[in-house]
Amino acid sequence: MILQPIHGRLSPMNCAIILMDYQQQFALEINSADGDIVVHNGINLAKIGKTFSIPTVLTTIGQSSFGGPFFSKLREIFPGREPIDRTTLSIFEDTRVLDAMEKIGRNKLIIAGLWTDFGVAASIRQAQQLGYEVFMVVDACGDVTLRAHHIATQRLCREGAVPMTWLQMLLALHRDWVPPEAYDVLLHIAKNHASAYGLEIRYAPSGLDKRQTRLANDKPRERWCPNAAEFRSDH
């Protein structure tokens, strides 16, 4: 007997990414982890969204006042895209965000941002109330204290949010390394940003590349088409 999964597999074709409040003033107050690493992980998540052509919503709060500007590195990944600057704690209380999500039309949300127990928690909770399945990228979220981050994360997980790291998200979205164009782009992300895993890939035997080339002739390609050339030119 084959059991039917309760939730369908997460894929680039059924999810959307929301990047919240990656702003200078919020980043300066992060004490739950190294603030630079948290922001860098958010940038990694943005690169994954760009590579997989996943609809991505950018949002800020109080950009011209207490929050400060959106990080330029994220703007570079999505050139010409202005984040939705809101006044509400939860992004789902802003009609522009609701309109954007309705146009996207996907029920699986990947959410990360600053601070964990500030806008992120309120938004995830409301997203679940609206019927979304939420994946929280924990290492791309940060808070003013480690305790605040942990308590907020634990509470959200008990309420049904799925915790993941940005690297786990990458591997969940791309389970097959066969398509040559995907292999090159995703290896670029992992080598440069995945710490020990990236080092392992960097120094792996060249036979791995030969094996992937051979397998590419035996299996069909994935349905998604990564923005390989665009990714390399920007980053």
Query: What are the structural domain ranges in the chain?
Result: 15-171, 176-220+227-234
Residue in 100, 106, 105 with CA at minimum distance from that of residue 81: 100
What are the beta bridge partners of residue 20?
59, 113
Average pLDDT, rounded, for the chain: 82
Residues 78 and 231: beta-carbon distance below 8 Å? no
Average pLDDT over residues 136-155: 97
Token digits of residue 110: 């990947």
What is the structure's pLDDT at 219? Answer: 47
Residues 216 and 180: beta-carbon distance below 8 Å? yes
The hierarchical CATH code for the domain 15-171 is: 3.40.50.850
Average pLDDT over residues 8-25: 93
Residue in 165, 174, 139, 161 with CA at minimum distance from that of residue 54: 174
Hey, how many other C-beta atoms are within 10 angstroms of the C-beta on 61?
A: 24
Residues 114 and 141: beta-carbon distance below 8 Å? yes
In angstroms, the CA 90 to CA 82 distance is 18
* pLDDT surpassing 70 at residue 188: no
In angstroms, the CA 95 to CA 166 distance is 28
Alpha carbon dihedral 224, 225, 227, 229, in 10-degree steps, equals 160
* pLDDT surpassing 90 at residue 218: no
* pLDDT surpassing 90 at residue 170: no
In angstroms, the CA 146 to CA 109 distance is 24
Is the pTM for the entire model greater than 0.85? no
* pLDDT surpassing 60 at residue 209: no
